[in-house]
Structures are given as structure tokens and as C-alpha cells.
Amino acid sequence: MAVPRYRAAEAALLIVEPLDIFTAVYHRPSGITHLLNEPAPQILEALDEAPLDIEALLARLAGTYDLGDADEDDTAILRVRLDELEAAGLVDRL
């Protein structure tokens, strides 16, 4: 079974605007504005360049942010956040 990879929705489909501790993301296809807080905006940013699997995404985030030593709990938490972003249409699973 192939390991799923994730990518952010196309930039042309989103309008992203930082608002204090939140980030507003307008999703053009659905017409819905999502208010995101950390780590969701950072996940979208990390997936903007190329599709990544969970391990590569966690490594990219750890390289940018001080996450400490990543473990299975971090992977599980990241999977939950990705599922939420996918349900909102902001991330696609490949």
C-alpha cells in the first residue's frame, strides 16, 4: 500500500490573510472562509511547495520550527490536523 502524500490546495483557490493569532483562508470553490490557528497555517505553507508524506512534512516543520524530538504522538497529531484540513478542502490527499 502506498504511503499517502498531501498537498495544499492550489494557491489560486485560496485567499490567505493573517489576522492576529488566526489566519483567515477563503476557499473560492466552496465560498467558505476558514479561521485557522497554529499549526494549520504552517502546515499549509509547508505543503505549498510540493506534496509530502507525513514523515517528510513533520521533518520540514521540524526544520523550520522548534518541535523537539518528533515521536509517534506528533505523527498522530499531524495526521488529525491533515484530516481536518482535507475535510475543509484546503489539503488534498494523493
Max intra-chain CA distance, the chain: 41
**pLDDT band for position 74 (50/70/90)?**
confident
Q: Model pTM?
A: 0.92
All domains of the chain in start order, with CATH: 5-93 (3.90.930)
Answer with the residue of higher pLDDT: 66 or 31. Answer: 31
- What pLDDT digit, counting tens, does each position of 8-50 carry? 999 999 999 999 999 999 999 999 999 999 999 999 999 998 9
Burial class (CB in 10 A: 0-12, 13-18, 19+), 33: exposed
Q: Phi then psi for 53, rounded to 5 degrees?
A: -85, 175
How many Å is the Cα radius of gyration of the chain?
13
Question: What span, in angstroms and rounded, lies between the C-alpha atoms of 88 and 27?
Answer: 9
